[in-house]
Amino acid sequence: MFGVMNEPHDVPDISIWARTVQEVVAAIRRTGVTRQKILLPGNNWTSAATFVSSGSADALSRVVDFDGSKHNLIFDVHKYLDADNSGMHESVCLGILHPLMMRCFIGSV
């Protein structure tokens, strides 16, 4: 499994970022690595809380593998369990993992 980058943030133009991710996917595949999964990170520390609203989901959904498929490409999202999703606080919100929050990433609950 390959990760393009860990927690990119302050990306000024998500469409340029998605094109960069596309180029990275192509570069990985050109090395002969054709079956491993590749994680596609979005903006805002690849936060699950803002993955859709930041435009990351839409922009990265256009990234394709060398054969035009998306089978081995996975959205890389991070979810921290504190109140503001920063991972900077000692206390966590136990109710934050409600199954419906993750439905858009895993498809079912």
Dump pLDDT digits (tens) for 15-51: 999 999 999 999 999 999 999 999 999 999 998 888 9
Residue 88 and residue 74 share a domain: no
**Residue 109 predicted with pLDDT over 50:** no
Residue 39 and residue 10 share a domain: yes
Residue 66 and residue 50 share a domain: yes
Residue 89 and residue 70 share a domain: no
Rounded distance between C-alpha atoms, residue 6 and residue 34, angstroms:
21
Contact 4, 24 (CB under 8 A): yes
Residue-number span of the structural domain to which 87 is assigned:
81-109
Look at 45 and 91; give whichever has higher pLDDT.
Answer: 45
The tally of domains found in the chain comes to 2
